[in-house]
Structure 1
């Protein structure tokens, strides 16, 4: 869904605002970084993130805030003519404009790591010396960096942003907070308007942004998740149809008003089944992040208890808690068959306990969505035949997704996304992680029988080998090549 509006003469389009807000609960989302603005504005950007404000924290500048988790909208507008990062600015000073400096600059641009380390080392030493002498910012007035603050507000959305200015007037910052359980796409649109309003105060004319078009959307190439908790559907490769289906489920979850208008009911439960390592748990976490939901994982020890009646009490308590959640929550029953497999006619105590747990589970799933529409249940299993059909019938688990091992095209896509994400995170000027000419299609062909987890392990082994070489040689290491990747795949024994 895309929202469009006109502001200060400009056309603004916000692509999937609900998805942006949901993604911001996991990782900061940067917006408008590549947008261009009229002079004297050199750059402007908006970041949406999440913060867990401790209970009892002092009030913020926004009335009623400061307690509990919040969405944070922060924007920066710069009119500075020198926007070079500190490292690049230091290099420019060290290299100068003489022939030697020009030659060294060309070698740095060509990726010469030794030259880069020497120049950066000289620059770092110079900065340290300046700081020790109190000359780290020569010519800068000794006044507070944020000497003045204002407030901008959008009354319609109820959003209020504090505005702070650097002492030299070249940087303006806007910041607003909204409680996480109250944030809506209207707040995002309001923050975009306040950002453009601040830009407009710097640009002459009645309609300073006339004829311009701004698209507010997430970056097309996501950075790699630092933990599995941060994974998003954008980062999933080789499962195009499954990802598309999960996106539709996320949309149905985030738009209950549309569901109610048509008398439709979104899926209450999803069963994912397939071989180990195909990404079932990862997909569950990614779906939670796409929805913007908390993630609650249930494992076998939380349910099965050796004491009589303990297992039944545990499963009842899990669903009792589920009915009380007041924020979107995805409950994952991982390795579902080991938790709640139907034991048939077994007469031993363990079989009777599992049968009892299965019966309670079926009862609780009958009306969970009516009792609490904030909850969605996902179950994953490697052995679907071990789960009784009555447990996973429609009405309890409305969607059943087979997650197979990827085919050759799927493996190629997984390699493409994983390599692109690693390069986006780790590559820097002067450091290239992957060599030119890596043949992704060939890697997809060579990795026959591998899962996404296997491909991740193949890349991990190559990264570790390169890091160890780097540690021993002091940086004299070639980028990861096709040969390196091929050897790693072969080493896994596929």
Structure 2
């Protein structure tokens, strides 16, 4: 995604970093010119360019780029099937392009994450971008909307142009339902017409992604039921992945990630915390950890105030106070119990059931098995189709016989 001006700025930053690394050996306050021996040591090396790359972004990404944190698969517990699917859809086309060309397969263009809020859809998108070493552009749906006629469509075009220029790139649409609702079909006027134009522009851009560009689109939504069906047709965001509430293994991983820099009491394990947070989302668990840490900080400050009071009252000298052990060395069970007493589930069982029902509905629509749980077999499917055709023919013959019988009975009735 770097253009000529970006490369020039990159070289300049590398040269400046080279000078910074040698400035300690130069007398910058002297009015005399720098000796040639010192100038000869100013050689721009790979490390200087590595630093320049870390602080310089391509101009195509400056407006929309989000600095992706160091998120790896190991930081996300559970969801192994989801990880495998994402690797096959995103990572394989980037790392094994030759195999796709060999088998004449075109890489998938996009995937749609759906599920309850706070379950790590954004985290999953960032993790796959990190694993693939691809650029990552994230945008929330409402950010594309513009009050002026044609402004929203122009924002969509500019966004896709930047993503194509930054290939390989993952373009992440958060809150997809805000810009991709089912089209009104005309006559709605106002905001519905704007929404229709935006979704039409998005579909046009997705269809226009060239095979030579490694651009993958990830959408995330909490309301898959209101999305326009066109966005999920083959060749677009045709892969739907359900991100459910975290299971026990996932909750353990979430606790580890949130508390990796926090001291924890020995009598408290991540498994215990996971057992008492069933039904909580990742965001709920993060809030529990933050509140427990705040409780520990509050107790630590209270203990420090008490210690200073004893010093000021003459009960202790400053040396004796400094020698006292830390009253709150870690986050304890009491802190977590106080945090859990105020915790709440942001996703109710009714909401979870709605997502589970939608997921089951999608699986039934996509299923190609002759029976649930059985493998697909061409011969058995063909035989089943023949049986259905035979039954259909028999039914048609029975209908014809009944119609002939009715006609005969009608002709036998004397006219009045």
Verify same fold: TM over 0.5: yes
Deviation of residue 390 (structure 1)?
1.4
Q: C-alpha separation between the residues in 1 aligned to 2:195 and 2:97?
A: 35
Task: Decide whether the 8 Å contact of 1:272 with 1:402 is kept in 2.
Answer: yes
TM-score normalised to structure 1 length: 0.51
Residues 455 and 369 of structure 1: is their aligned pair in 2 closer, same or farther, counting only changes over 3 Å?
farther
Residues 383 and 320 of structure 1: is their aligned pair in 2 closer, same or farther, counting only changes over 3 Å?
same
Q: C-alpha separation between the residues in 1 aligned to 2:282 and 2:68?
A: 13
**1:481 alignment partner in structure 2:** 332
**1:331 alignment partner in structure 2:** 171
**1:445 alignment partner in structure 2:** 275
Alignment of 1:145-294 (within 5 A): 229-248=69-88, 249-294=90-135
Task: Decide whether the 8 Å contact of 2:68 with 2:130 is kept in 1.
Answer: no
Q: C-alpha separation between the residues in 2 aligned to 1:482 and 1:451?
A: 21
Deviation of residue 301 (structure 1)?
3.9
Deviation of residue 443 (structure 1)?
1.9
Q: C-alpha separation between the residues in 2 aligned to 1:486 and 1:404?
A: 26
**1:490 alignment partner in structure 2:** 341
Task: Decide whether the 8 Å contact of 2:252 with 2:271 is kept in 1.
Answer: yes
Q: Give per-residue Cα distances to partners, 1:80-111, cap 9 Å, x unaligned.
A: xxxxxxxxxxxxxxxxxxxxxxxxxxxxxxxx
Residues 387 and 176 of structure 1: is their aligned pair in 2 closer, same or farther, counting only changes over 3 Å?
same
Q: C-alpha separation between the residues in 2 aligned to 1:230 and 1:53?
A: 28
Structure 1 runs not aligned, ≥5 long: 1-51, 67-148, 152-159, 163-174, 182-226, 424-432
Supply the RMSD in Å over aligned alpha carbons: 3.4
Q: Give per-residue Cα distances to partners, 1:426-468, cap 9 Å, x unaligned.
A: xxxxxxx111132333322211221111111111111122123
SS of residue matched to 1:434? coil
**2:373 alignment partner in structure 1:** none
Alignment of 1:398-409 (within 5 A): 398-409=238-249
Task: Decide whether the 8 Å contact of 1:369 with 1:376 is kept in 2.
Answer: no
Q: Extract structure 1 runs of 4+ deviating beyond 6 A.
A: 178-181
Q: C-alpha separation between the residues in 1 aligned to 2:204 and 2:97?
A: 24
Aligned with 1:317 (options 145, 150, 158)? 158
Q: Give per-residue Cα distances to partners, 1:23-49, cap 9 Å, x unaligned.
A: xxxxxxxxxxxxxxxxxxxxxxxxxxx
1:344 aligns with 2:174: no
Q: Give per-residue Cα distances to partners, 1:393-445, cap 9 Å, x unaligned.
A: 221114211001123343234324443x335xxxxxxxxx1111323333222
Deviation of residue 58 (structure 1)?
6.5
Q: C-alpha separation between the residues in 2 aligned to 1:416 and 1:56?
A: 41
Number of positions where the alignment pairs a residue of Structure 1 with one of Structure 2: 283
Task: Name the one with the larger strand percent.
Answer: 1
Task: Name the one with the larger helix percent.
Answer: 2
Task: Decide whether the 8 Å contact of 2:176 with 2:220 is kept in 1.
Answer: yes
1:363 aligns with 2:204: yes
Task: Decide whether the 8 Å contact of 2:120 with 2:243 is kept in 1.
Answer: yes
Q: C-alpha separation between the residues in 1 aligned to 2:13 and 2:117?
A: 48
**1:467 alignment partner in structure 2:** 297
Task: Decide whether the 8 Å contact of 1:340 with 1:358 is kept in 2.
Answer: yes
Q: Give per-residue Cα distances to partners, 1:252-295, cap 9 Å, x unaligned.
A: 32332333333333321111001110011111122211111222
Q: C-alpha separation between the residues in 1 aligned to 2:108 and 2:255?
A: 32
**2:233 alignment partner in structure 1:** 393
Q: C-alpha separation between the residues in 2 aligned to 1:176 and 1:305?
A: 41
1:377 aligns with 2:217: yes
1:353 aligns with 2:190: no
Residues 54 and 267 of structure 1: is their aligned pair in 2 closer, same or farther, counting only changes over 3 Å?
same
Residues 54 and 489 of structure 1: is their aligned pair in 2 closer, same or farther, counting only changes over 3 Å?
farther
TM-score normalised to structure 2 length: 0.59
1:435 aligns with 2:274: no
1:422 aligns with 2:253: no
Residues 449 and 285 of structure 1: is their aligned pair in 2 closer, same or farther, counting only changes over 3 Å?
same
